[in-house]
Structure 1
Amino acid sequence: MEVSVHQQISDDYTELYRRLPLKLHLAYGIGHVLNDVCASMWFTYLLVFFHLVLNFSNWETGFLLLVGQVADALATPFVGYHSDQSDNFPFCRYGRRKVWHLIGTVCVLGAFPFIFAPCIGCTTSHKWAQMFYYSIFIIIFQFGWAAVQISHLSLIPELTPNEHDRTKLTAVRYCFTVISNVLVYVITWIILHLDNGESARIGPGDAPKFQHVVWTVLALGSLCSLVFHICIGEVDNGVSNNVRGSHLRTSVRDLLTNVTVYQVAFIYMTSRLFVNLTQVFIPLYLHETLNMAASSLALVPLTMFIGSFITSMFIEKINRCCGRKLTYTIGAVIGVAACIWVKFGSGIDYVNRYIYIVALLFGSGGSIILVSSLGVTTDLIGGKN
């Protein structure tokens, strides 16, 4: 009997540390594509659409962006807490993470198309009425986006306890993020370039073009979410319930008094801030400061995410060789170098050539620090501090 127990434990841990198959990595990675394409439109073109297409003022446009970020900040801990209460939520047999992913997907698909479209029935109303209209859909969208993001990220330590597999899942996740962004920018460039010409600039007449982009990327994201829900099974996934039961759930009080939590949160916050700010302000920087054509608002961000895509394919190996700290430092140095170049860059050569090198640096640096910070986060969730 004792031999049987030891054999069972040995089999459990052998199964526990088995490497995940490639098809599971890919199926997991596409589960965040809908969020990725929407985030690409949100961070890259929200200010452009509301300011240049809908003629909202600077502060009105910034206020709507702020509404979205505040809604995201409030929804994230709410979803994170309740997605972990598997005994208190109906339909938990479907998966405590996957059910929130499904709820978030429905919210995103239901609200996002209304954000990048003229106010239905209120285009001539006062701007305050229009801002209220858009704020409702922005809040619903941000709640859904947070639900998808948190549930998808929290699946990583449940799919595998292996540190290298978690890094690979994170890298694959970010790789699909980059691919999603590239597709958004390619579609946007095709629509703006073919319809507007080489030297045209963004204006109110471009509203239908943005709607075409939105519906195209939402169709792609919906298909990827469907594949994710079909292929990813949350229950067990080769991990024994006996082994799972050996890990005690951390209380909220212990979590909030853990210094490591705040260190990891600060690293992720600054990394996400760097990536988001480059996405948000690069289009306006190109349009307002460098006076570049409308097509460049897709071509330069596309170049940035090509750099991210190439870098993301090597991040796991870099992490394996250098460790997370050195890898993160390398990414931070690359990102700071790009910021310094933007600060002092000027002239025809800079606009025509060097801006694309800057975009590559932004993409590579952002890719490295974001994937590394996500790796640190999943290590913390998985209990490897």
Structure 2
Amino acid sequence: MIETMGDQLPAADIESFLPLRRCSILSYGVGHMLNDITSACWFTYLLLFLTDIGLTPRDASIVMLSGQVADGFMTVFAGELIDRFGRFKLWHAGGSVLVAISFSSVFGGCLLCQILGINSAALRTIGYSIFAAIFNVGWAATQVSHMAMVNCMTLNDTSRVALASCRNAFTMVANLTLYGIALAVFSINDAKTSVDIEDQYRWIAYVSILIGCCFVGIFLFGTKEPRLKQQHCENNQRVSWAYWFSKLLYYQVALVYMLTRLVTNVSQALLAFYVINDLEMAQSSKALIPALIYICSFAVSIILQEIKWNGWRLKAFYTTGAILWIFSGVGIFLLPSKIHNFMYLLSITTGVANALMTVTGISMESMLVGKDLNGCAFVYGSLSFLDKVSCGLALYLLESYQSSPSSEGCHDITSCQSVTRYGSGLIPAACALVGAVVTYTMNLHDTTPKSLSEPLLA
């Protein structure tokens, strides 16, 4: 088989198309654990935490929006610099340090209020917004460098999907770890005051950071700086932004990726409100329901690593995930509180759909980049910009219309028209539908030579 490849490709390119080994895929996959475990806390508990300590839903959404906007702009900035100078691991390490330092302050007390000796609602909103922005700047630098590495580690399409799938699998591990920590803290520490609530989330933040940093160390020591980009840059000019803007596939992939993140992040951010306020479930459910979703996502992500991928299969699996999410979203929107245990079944379908859409959506970015490695970081950065800003704006708009939960609960469809239900179910379902339609119109080309048929994890 190698000889056949040698007849079709220059000798220098043969190694680039060979499948990656399992150890390389695993060491790469754990590199986003710190980002993932803090992101899980960010989207699941930030709005709940801020409203529990006294901020209004609108002020809480301003804090989240400030972080999302900072994240969005940083992704473009980081993408441009990485394309120019490379050094993926350096950007990853620097971003991880910033995340570790700032995250505890996001879920701690208002440091700005303590410095100025003022505890007004406006100053608390500003104080939390500052640390939210700092946290997301570091998060973006780590994310873009880690995602852009996929295309520079290999030109093999199947291995690229394996890298994305492994990364997604450890995202599920990070989320499950976060919910396990949260469940333990919520069970041990019964919060009755805002100070108790701050202590709860501070402990969650500290333990999460410690675990995440251990996996960052494994990534930095176990993953080599990709040489493919450096080799490619010696013979090719840098790909300009105009090149990507002239490609129809760029806009299609950008829209699908943005819609996929809206589905997963918006539903996750409002899930805790939904199970507590709308379904009137026990407090432990705000950790158990998300955990069940991510257990199912983890299992599916592991299975997806062993599939030999091409453009047609990416489209088919994404569409399957979108259809599952549409059914789940409608079910979440209509589910009355008197049969709230049905949410456990919806959690299973939601978890499967999340994995299918996320893995294939990210892999479509790799197909878009192909062999154009000199502009890969810009692609990941610009698409992430759309993701961050759109999610921040969506949550801000939803929280602006959020009201206190009805004391009558939600016992039939006439009392189920809450903003939380729209944000947790119907709006993500609509995004999944549009994403499936756009995916159907794509023309995805494989970059791996047809003669290359080695197993995925050789």
Tell me whether the two structures share a fold, i.e. TM-score over 0.5: yes
1:147 matches 2:141: yes
1:133 matches 2:127: yes
Is the CA contact 2:67–2:134 (under 8 Å) kept in the aligned structure 1? no
| CA displacement, residues 179-227 of structure 1 (integer Å, 9 cap, x when unaligned) | 000010011112212334xxx9996632212111111110011111111
Is the CA contact 2:112–2:123 (under 8 Å) kept in the aligned structure 1? no
Among 252, 273, 285, the alignment partner of 2:274 is: 285
Aligned-partner Cα distance in 2 for 1:83–1:56: 38
Q: Which amino acid aligns with 1:338?
A: S
Q: Which residue of 2 aligns with 1:275?
A: 264
Aligned-partner Cα distance in 2 for 1:144–1:332: 31
Aligned-partner Cα distance in 2 for 1:227–1:202: 39
Is the CA contact 1:35–1:148 (under 8 Å) kept in the aligned structure 2? yes
Q: Which amino acid aligns with 2:24?
A: L
Once the two structures are TM-superposed, the CA of residue 296 in structure 1 deviates from its matched residue by 1.0
Aligned-partner Cα distance in 2 for 1:109–1:240: 30
Once the two structures are TM-superposed, the CA of residue 122 in structure 1 deviates from its matched residue by 2.1
1:12 matches 2:3: no
Among 317, 327, 330, the alignment partner of 2:317 is: 327
Among 96, 109, 113, the alignment partner of 1:122 is: 113
Unaligned segments of structure 1, at least 5 residues:
1-5, 87-94
TM-score (norm 1): 0.89
Once the two structures are TM-superposed, the CA of residue 371 in structure 1 deviates from its matched residue by 0.7
Aligned-partner Cα distance in 2 for 1:10–1:325: 31
- CA shift in 2, pair 1:35/1:156, >3 Å: same
Aligned-partner Cα distance in 1 for 2:193–2:325: 28
Is the CA contact 2:160–2:366 (under 8 Å) kept in the aligned structure 1? yes
Aligned-partner Cα distance in 2 for 1:363–1:221: 22
How many residue pairs match? The answer is 364
Q: Which residue of 2 aligns with 1:79?
A: 78
1:105 matches 2:96: yes
Aligned-partner Cα distance in 2 for 1:49–1:81: 35
- CA shift in 2, pair 1:268/1:35, >3 Å: same
- CA shift in 2, pair 1:244/1:323, >3 Å: farther
Q: Which moved more, 1:286-295 or 1:268-277?
A: 286-295
- CA shift in 2, pair 1:331/1:201, >3 Å: farther
Q: Which amino acid aligns with 1:152?
A: H
Aligned-partner Cα distance in 2 for 1:309–1:227: 20
Aligned-partner Cα distance in 1 for 2:151–2:67: 28
Among 283, 287, 296, the alignment partner of 1:307 is: 296
Which structure carries more relative contact order (alpha carbon 8 Å, separation 6+)? 2
Q: Which residue of 2 aligns with 1:179?
A: 173
TM-score (norm 2): 0.75
Aligned-partner Cα distance in 1 for 2:360–2:238: 25
- CA shift in 2, pair 1:161/1:151, >3 Å: same
Q: Which residue of 2 aligns with 1:356?
A: 344
Q: Could you say what secondary structure the match of 2:110 adopts?
A: coil
Is the CA contact 1:318–1:327 (under 8 Å) kept in the aligned structure 2? no
Once the two structures are TM-superposed, the CA of residue 257 in structure 1 deviates from its matched residue by 2.4
Aligned-partner Cα distance in 2 for 1:266–1:158: 24
Aligned-partner Cα distance in 1 for 2:182–2:208: 10
Aligned-partner Cα distance in 2 for 1:202–1:336: 39
Once the two structures are TM-superposed, the CA of residue 288 in structure 1 deviates from its matched residue by 1.5
Once the two structures are TM-superposed, the CA of residue 256 in structure 1 deviates from its matched residue by 2.1
Q: Which residue of 2 aligns with 1:161?
A: 155
Q: Which residue of 1 aligns with 2:223?
A: 232
Is the CA contact 1:193–1:294 (under 8 Å) kept in the aligned structure 2? no
Is the CA contact 1:271–1:373 (under 8 Å) kept in the aligned structure 2? yes
- CA shift in 2, pair 1:81/1:341, >3 Å: same
Is the CA contact 1:41–1:184 (under 8 Å) kept in the aligned structure 2? yes
Once the two structures are TM-superposed, the CA of residue 141 in structure 1 deviates from its matched residue by 0.8
Q: Which amino acid aligns with 1:378?
A: S
Aligned-partner Cα distance in 2 for 1:66–1:136: 11
Aligned-partner Cα distance in 1 for 2:350–2:127: 34
Q: Which residue of 1 aligns with 2:435?
A: none
